[in-house]
Structure formats: C-alpha cells, structure tokens
Amino acid sequence: MTPHLLIQGGTLIDPETGRTQRADIRIKHGQITEIGLELEAEEDPVLKANGCMVSPGWMDMHVHLREPGQEHKETIESGCRAAAFGGFTAVACMPNTEPPLDTREAVHSIIDRASGLIVDVYPIACVSRGRCGSELSEMAELAQSGAVAFSDDGNPVQNGGLMRRALEYARMLRRPVINHMEDLAMGPKGHMNEGIVSTRLGLTPVPALSEESMIARDLMLAELTGGHLHVAHVSTAQGVSLIRQAKSRDVHVTAEACTHHFSLTDEAVEVSGFSAQTKMHPPLRTASDVAAIRNGLRDDTLDVICTDHAPHASFEKEVEFNTAPFGIIGLETAWGLTGTHLIAPGVLTVAAAVHKLCVAPRQILGISMPKIRIGASANLTVFDATTEWAFEARHIYSKSRNTPFIGARMTGKAWAVYNKGQLVKHAR
C-alpha cells in the first residue's frame, strides 16, 4: 500500500477537454489533497514524473481474465497485474469463463475476488444462458448484481430474434449489448482472413462478409429497438463504414478497435512462418482494413481503443496454426502500439488517444469518470508518448505469453498507475 504519495514534475491532462497544465499532485490516504507547482515532499514517497503526463486512470473494456475455470491461462490477480503495468486502473471482463458469468453469484464472485486489487474489475454478463444463444439470461438480475454490459463474446448471438429481445431489455436496464460480430455460416471453422494471403498459404479463410453482415443486422435491430449496441473488435473497412452510416442516422451504437487490428495485417501470418501468435478472432485483415480502422478512430466512428486481451498457455499456442486457439495478450503493449501507430503518425493526438482509453469506455458502460481534483480519490496513469523502447518477454506480467510483438519497437510508455491507495510503477 502507498496511501501517501507526491507526484512531481508531471503535466496533467484532462482527456474530456484536452486541457493540460504543469502541476504536482499530493495524495493523502488515497485522496488528492493538493495540486500545485513545486510542492514540498515532506516525508511522503515521491514519484518523479518529469517529462511525463498524468491523466485519470485508463480502462480496457474488453479483456478475458479466464477465472473461473481456466486459471492456467490467467487469473483475476495476474490479469490485473498485467493491466496495471500496461497503464490501466480498470478493466471490464468478458463472460466466457467456465462456468460463464450468467448468474448473480458468478458476477458477485468476480467483484469480490477483485476487490483488494489495484485495478477495478467490472464484469460483463452473458446475453444468453450458458452463452448458448437459445434463451436470454436473467438480465435484470445480472444488472442489479453489478454487470455493466451483456455479451456472449466468443459466441456470436446468431438468433436475430434473441438479439432483438436482448437489445429491448438492455435499453430498459441502460446497459449496452456487445456482440461478437460473425455469421458463422459464412465462414465455418476459418483460421485467417479471406484474401490473397490465405489463398497463397492454403488456410481456411474467415471472410470479411461474415463480420459485416452481422454488423449490418445488429445495426438494424438497434435502430428498431433503440437499444445500445456496442460493436466489439471491428476489423474491416466495410464494418467501419456501416457504423459510420448508422451514427449519421443517430442509431445508438458505439464501437471499439483492438490495438492489433490497427498495427498488423494478415501478411504477419506468412512473415511469421505460420506462428499461432498471429491467430486471433476476428483475424488480422488487409492493409486497406487497417487504414480504415485508423480513419475510424480519427473521426470517432470507433469510440474506444481496447485490447481483447486473450491469454493462452504456451502449450496451447505452440501447435500447428490450424489447431491453435484464437487470441493474444494485449494489456502490456496497448499504449506502445497506440503511440507507434496512431500518435506518432498523427492519426490521433495524445488527448484523443487518452479519451478513447479513459473517457469513452466509462461513458459506454455507465461508470463514473475519475477526476484529477482536490478531494477526489486518486485514480491516475503516468505515461509519455515519446519514449522509444523494444517490447521484450520481461515486460510481460500476464500469466500467458501469447503475443506476436516480442521484439517490436514501440513509442510511448506507461510508467505508473495509482488507484485505491496502491502504486505500481516501472523503473525509469
């Protein structure tokens, strides 16, 4: 515990307004008690933040913590440790656990297990019982228990009637429905993006149309019901276009982009020699899709940057590409990839990027926004957008190591987080 702390030399950034100011922050008993220039250290620990920015703590609204049932891949504790070292003070966890998060007790269990950790954990509960897609879960009870959204993530809601009812109930509960956008009949058992590379490699493809047709269906259902649809991990240019058009009609839709989908293309599968670390769902797409996702982030068609952090044990990934599970870890690389592929080339400003990592996720999930002001609980991320570094295995705090980015050069580093009277920091 670090109940008292003085953060010196940082530049405070308000991601809601974009305003910045040079100031120190004094924290007593986990609460901000003073903001000003050249505050004296007294006897409190000091965190030097010279050359860094300080924002309200970031949130990743799409992670898989694997507990309960798959603790060999990740636990709530190890996932939160990875999140903290990646700059996050909050995460929302998906319900594809074993058993899935479809009961009041399961939701309470996640909240209780995370209660003492530095990272706030918000459960996302199932749309359908058991994530089987045939019967709605007890959505009202789950919302009352603390679920911030509903999703069968990993399993798309194939039944349009069920999705319609889910959106209608979720509207009354003021919760979004997050769908894994895939029409399984259009690309059964595919392994990578359908295109020139999959043809050359002879791998069963996942067509972009399987994602886009489901997005189109759900946008129509959201328009009909008035329910809040959140589109998970958008990966195609046409998907971005469909969401942009729906927003122009005032459809209640929000959307997210994963860091790997604006950083890599399907050519990574070939270049890596069929490494299963490049196998994810939705798959890596083409250069034109990557460009469209970056543009969608630029014009706010895509509201959120997230990771879809999906840990798998080494023995599960170190197999032939066709038999490996989908997914990579992403919490520790999120800011470095954002800095490299969005901020450095001018796609987003630092303030805009932080907004998509901090403000937008909480707005979508109805979570109160932490503030940097006297009297507020200290919930902070200390970072820069200029440090050049190479991501290495030693930077991984997740229980799993399934990532294609080991050895990748990155720009921008998350240096520390403070939340609930606790401090986690990288050595500088």
Residues that are catalytic: 308
The answer to whether the CB of 30 falls within 8 A of the CB of 358 is no
Dihedral of CA atoms 62, 289, 317, 411 in degrees, nearest 10, equals -70
Helix %, strand %, coil % for the chain, to 5?
A: 35, 20, 45
Q: Which amino acid belongs to residue 168?
A: E
The answer to whether the CB of 11 falls within 8 A of the CB of 22 is yes
Where does 280-348 have alpha helices with state H? 287-298, 314-317, 334-338
Tokens at residue 111, please?
């909240």
The residue assigned the tokens 């507990």 is 67
Strand pairing partners for 410?
A: 389
Please give the sequence-ordered ranges of beta strands (E in DSSP) within 162-285, or none if there are none.
177-179, 192-193, 205-206, 229-231, 253-258
C-beta atoms surrounding 32 within 10 Å? 22
Residues in the chain: 428
Distance CA 105, CA 109 (A): 6
Dihedral of CA atoms 100, 102, 105, 109 in degrees, nearest 10, equals 40
Please report which helix (H) or strand (E) contains residue 209, including its range: helix 208-225
Hey, is 123 helix, strand or coil?
strand
Strand pairing partners for 339?
A: none
Distance CA 239, CA 211 (A): 7
Which one, of 157, 326, 169, 179, lies nearest residue 256 by Cα? 179
Tokens at residue 215, please?
């997005």
Phi, psi of 110 (to 5 degrees): -65, -45
DSSP 249-275: TT--EEEEEEGGGGT--THHHHHTTS-
